[in-house]
């Protein structure tokens, strides 16, 4: 009779102590504030890491994180596990309508007066890429490279797993269902054979987007430019108010004068920062720029 395989480690429930320690670690590395109602979510997501490492308690996992330190590979996996990545193409469509109907014409008018045909956009918290590719599609239609426009999009996230998927730019046909049919034909390649049921962003559009891991809580961001538009949608909702203010103040350093800040449907700037004027539903124009990013 063959020997019996060893039993898999039994995962126990997250204790009060473990939840307190691990949720504090989440907050310190990501800014995400987890209330007690998120205990089951944290247990489920970190439970996958316990199973992958053959551990039976969350305290064992915490010790691994502490032993490896801030530069350890498991901390990256920890951050990937606890972040939420809900996104879709052209989500909150009015933001892309505004980009096409107001931002692009304003840039064209400035170019007619002698301004450079250069556009820079930042998608902060880009997840698996649907948002920055939606931006790229909108601007490619409104400001074509054939007319001399140089459009570049920085797309950043803290989660390395979703960034890798975003760089590849491959999605199921269900995931691209919200893309207008004409844009789907123009900017995507439809898979055949083993790739049937998939669509991939065309290389010429992917080249407009640079993906980079950036933690908005880090003391310094590897950015040396200012942006015409910054999208930071459905990111602030995971932070407490002091962190929201700190992140918003830093984001605004990288928005050009009269540039646009775009937030998510449940977010706003009221009582958090000043120097902005309302430009539409969860969209704000920067009125002044006292602090330029370092050159």
Tokens 């014409």 found at = 105
Strand pairing partners for 121?
153, 229
Whether residue 157 lies in the annotated active site: yes
Q: Which of 49, 120, 157, 206 is catalytic?
A: 157
Spatial CA neighbour of 21 closest among 55, 60, 48, 47? 60
Residue 116 DSSP symbol: -
Residues 6+ apart with CB under 8 A from 205: 133, 136, 137, 140, 187
DSSP state of 237: G
Q: Which helix (H) or strand (E) holds 279?
A: strand 276-280
Residues 6+ apart with CB under 8 A from 85: 127, 128, 159, 162
Query: Under a CB-based contact definition with an 8 Å cutoff, are residues 155 and 211 in contact?
Result: yes
Cβ distance 107 to 119 under 8 Å? yes
Give one DSSP letter per residue of 147-176, joined into a string: GT-EEEEEEEES-HHHHHHHHHTEEETTTT
User: Residue 158: what are its φ and ψ, rounded to 5°?
Assistant: -90, -20
Which positions are catalytic? 45, 157
């Amino acid at each position: 009779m063959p020997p019996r395989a060893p039993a898999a480690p039994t995962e126990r429930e997250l204790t009060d102590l473990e939840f307190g320690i691990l949720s504090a670690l989440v907050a310190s590395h990501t800014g995400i504030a987890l209330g007690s109602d998120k205990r089951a979510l944290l247990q489920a997501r970190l439970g996958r890491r316990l199973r992958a490492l053959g551990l039976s308690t969350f305290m064992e996992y915490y010790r691994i994180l502490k032993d490896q330190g801030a530069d350890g590979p498991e901390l990256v996996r920890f951050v990937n596990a606890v972040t939420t990545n809900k996104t879709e193409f052209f989500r909150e469509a009015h933001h892309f309508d505004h980009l096409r109907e107001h931002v692009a014409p304003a840039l064209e008018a400035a170019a007619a007066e002698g301004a450079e045909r250069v556009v820079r956009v930042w998608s902060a918290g880009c997840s698996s890429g649907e948002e920055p590719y939606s931006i790229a599609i909108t601007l490619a239609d409104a400001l074509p490279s054939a007319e001399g426009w140089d459009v570049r999009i920085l797309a950043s996230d803290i989660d390395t797993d979703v960034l890798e998927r975003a760089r590849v730019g491959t999605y199921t046909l269900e995931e691209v269902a919200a893309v207008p049919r004409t844009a789907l034909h123009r900017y995507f390649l439809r898979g055949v054979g083993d790739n049937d049921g998939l669509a991939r962003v065309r290389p010429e559009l992917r080249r407009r987007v640079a993906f980079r891991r950036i933690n908005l809580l880090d003391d310094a961001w590897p950015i040396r430019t200012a942006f015409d538009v910054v999208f930071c949608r459905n990111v602030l909702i995971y932070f407490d108010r002091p962190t929201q203010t700190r992140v918003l103040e830093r984001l605004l350093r990288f928005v050009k004068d009269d540039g646009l800040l775009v937030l998510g449907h449940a977010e706003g700037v009221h009582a958090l920062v000043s120097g902005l004027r309302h430009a539409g539903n969860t969209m704000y124009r920067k009125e002044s720029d006292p602090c330029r990013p370092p050159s």
